[in-house]
Structure 1
């Protein structure tokens, strides 16, 4: 799997700065070298640091931006990176500053001189998130980022503040690894096995196979996977760190390990990216891993439906009618609108078995949400203002873009079917909203619920602030914060 950067905290050794090799990043507060490390570097470079900090280029930079001095005289290093970050700064700016350092590290040894900055832990978190690489399928093994030494005034205090963030980072990396994996590696069997391995962290894991799913009446989910050689599964993960017997919060994820569109087959161009159609399940897995690693004082259940949508002689056809676990019958208009069929059964099962205090599902569900929001924001739909607002607040605090879109009875007319209770696809206009309206049919009225359409945010073709191109791990940070703020025992 990926090899995350190793961050080590230690005190600043001013006497040893002149002998450092590789790269040095200096966190700069202001336009003069006032900190002990900055003064030491300025003396060794014969005033170059002071001139750079007072330059117009530095003055024009926003917090978190970086000015590079290559092979500075007086030092043995490859480069000195001056990162502008005032002491009074936001969490997001501090993380972006760390990410700016990570983008410049390469495989060089690195020392980050943070000293007494109050956001030292967040700087390190941003560095770790951006330093992620996914290279297990490269023929030449990656050297990775190795170890980064972060020099601070109080290493023990910063390490303690960084520990819960390290748990979040590992959850993000786990999600990114899953989303980045090709479908010939991450089959439904392999996915389930990776989740089962989290039992070592104290998560209770249960895998429901096709025979059990059939007995439960999950015909909507099973219909999606019936054309694949990979068996459909539902995996349940329980983290029980809260009060005994207290109802859990539920996370539900769409886990289509590859989506051809089925008989309604997709165009060839871009189909290789459909390895990410299990992104919702990947986020649920990453959140559960984070909760276990930081020993969260909450009861949370994560449930993912794992299927593969393939064309085959046994595959589901447009025009088929399937009966969901709830008993609602569905006319399949388009086999490429398969994710909502998976979620329909898993949502209902989550409520029937666990009676959750609230529920959020995640899915790379519609291309329409990308048309509406691009790749900057996840589409948010909800039946409960309190839960929705709490999630949006958590997402904003974590710098993860999210935007609430409307729902309403007026959209339900498009769901009507001539043959069954509802159809699974309603055409292009309002496509993300009608998909959410479909899912709402499988949510009980008294259960607070949010649907997160992550089709535009789960995987990007270009670098983002805290991630290289590819899988982002969007949602792990926001959901972890939501659970911590709203559902965790204080």
Structure 2
């Protein structure tokens, strides 16, 4: 878990600004006003900071603007970084301001002075989130990130306020690590092992192996993985922080550790990106970690179906008919529409075993959602306005793009099969919607449900405000906030 050292604005601590050898981060408003620490820095560098700020204010200093003074005279610091945060700043703006400072610091130690700045905890969370890097497989030892020390008017209060935010950052990092990991390392077994390790945090973790999945009737899930040497698994993670007997929220994740498309083989170009096809399961894992670390007062169960979709002599074929755990039969017309086959069995199992108060599934499910929404928003499909609107509100508060998409009988009719209860694809038109319609067939009456198609947001080719290129950890913050808003008590 990311740790934070907070110190107060005492005279002794203020003096440390003189000798700090890393970078110093300061927060100012759009008028360029300096607090105690800023005034101390300005005196040390003989007014250079104030002169630079005055010039920026005259030019029009806006929220999120930053400036850097490298190797300031009179200080040991390698640089002073200043970012503007207005008096009425939102949580989002505060997090982005912190991310600016986190990105600038590189591997240097950061002494971040927040004083009594509103939203100071979110400034710290932003600095931590943007400081992420994935260097596990580089032969040249990567420089370790430096420490973050925060100066505040009330250091104990800041530590208390920041602890749950850092827990969410830690869960986000787990998701990013899983999504960034190559498939020869993150096999189904390795994935399950990493989730089992979270039992040390208080999660109850179970790993269901193929023999048990066969007994349960999870034939659509097993069909996807039958062409691979890696065994298919389902991992169940329970966090029981709420009242005994309260029905849990169920989070279900698609965990295809690598997706070749199977017999319906994908084109070679870009197939290397299919290491991220377990992004839904990665997000579920990250949320469960965050909830455990911050001791959430809610009952939540996370279930992930872990498979590898490979072509071989034992792989499923286009035209095969397979029976689901629910008992419905599925005509598999395209083996590359495999995620829904994994999810439908795990969703049914989640409802049969846990009778959840609500269910949310996450999957890098369709390329069609990227055509529709690009990389700015995940697709949101739901049968329940209350749960859906609560999620959209949480996603908006966390600046994690999400857009509700339609469902309807006409789309469902596109899944009719002449030889089975349904097909696993509905054709090219409305591909993300027919995929959601397929999943809705496995939602029991009366169960509030959301399907999140995260194919466009789980991993990106360019950096964002809070993450470098690669895995984003999208959804961990939004789902954690949804749990806090809607399911926690006390």
- Matched with 1:216 is 216
- Matched with 2:142 is 142
1:76-100, CA deviations, whole angstroms, 9 ceiling, x for partnerless residues? 3221111111232000000001100
Structure 2 gaps of 5+ residues are none
Paired with 2:372 and 2:475, the residues of 1 have a C-alpha distance of 19
The Cα shift of 1:31 comes to: 2.7
Residues 89, 118 of structure 2: 8 Å contact kept: no
Paired with 2:224 and 2:15, the residues of 1 have a C-alpha distance of 64
1:399-426, CA deviations, whole angstroms, 9 ceiling, x for partnerless residues? 1110001111111121011221111112
Q: Is 1:10 aligned to 2:14, yes or no?
A: no
- Matched with 1:471 is 471
Q: Is 1:199 aligned to 2:199, yes or no?
A: yes
Question: Could you tell which deviates more after superposition, 16-25 or 50-59?
Answer: 50-59
- Matched with 1:28 is 28
The Cα shift of 1:57 comes to: 6.9
- Matched with 2:272 is 272
Residues 331, 424 of structure 1: 8 Å contact kept: yes
Q: Is 1:438 aligned to 2:438, yes or no?
A: yes
Residues 359, 449 of structure 1: 8 Å contact kept: yes
> How high is the TM-score relative to the length of structure 2?
0.97
How has the CA–CA distance of structure 1 residues 228 and 447 changed in structure 2, closer, same or farther, with 3 Å as cutoff? same
Paired with 1:102 and 1:32, the residues of 2 have a C-alpha distance of 20
The Cα shift of 1:6 comes to: 4.5
Residues 31, 61 of structure 2: 8 Å contact kept: no
1:125-179, CA deviations, whole angstroms, 9 ceiling, x for partnerless residues? 0011111111111112222222011111111000000011111111111111111
How has the CA–CA distance of structure 1 residues 5 and 102 changed in structure 2, closer, same or farther, with 3 Å as cutoff? farther
- Matched with 2:171 is 171
Q: Name the count of aligned residue pairs.
A: 487
Please give the secondary structure, in 1, of the residue aligned with 2:474: coil
Q: How does 1:180-199 map to 2 (within 5 A)?
A: 180-199=180-199
CA RMSD of aligned residues (A): 1.4
Please give the secondary structure, in 2, of the residue aligned with 1:255: strand
- Matched with 1:246 is 246
How has the CA–CA distance of structure 1 residues 349 and 71 changed in structure 2, closer, same or farther, with 3 Å as cutoff? same
Question: Could you tell which deviates more after superposition, 453-462 or 290-299?
Answer: 290-299
The Cα shift of 1:328 comes to: 1.0
1:61-114, CA deviations, whole angstroms, 9 ceiling, x for partnerless residues? 532231112222332322111111123200000000110001111111221121
How has the CA–CA distance of structure 1 residues 5 and 62 changed in structure 2, closer, same or farther, with 3 Å as cutoff? farther
Paired with 2:442 and 2:481, the residues of 1 have a C-alpha distance of 26
Q: How does 1:343-354 map to 2 (within 5 A)?
A: 343-354=343-354
Q: How does 1:3-402 map to 2 (within 5 A)?
A: 6-12=3-9, 13-56=13-56, 59-402=59-402
The Cα shift of 1:199 comes to: 1.1
Please give the secondary structure, in 2, of the residue aligned with 1:54: helix
Residues 457, 472 of structure 1: 8 Å contact kept: yes
Question: Could you tell which deviates more after superposition, 219-228 or 415-424?
Answer: 415-424
Paired with 2:57 and 2:144, the residues of 1 have a C-alpha distance of 31
Please give the secondary structure, in 1, of the residue aligned with 2:5: strand
- After superposing on structure 2, the runs of 4+ consecutive aligned residues of structure 1 that deviate more than 6 Å are none
The Cα shift of 1:59 comes to: 4.7
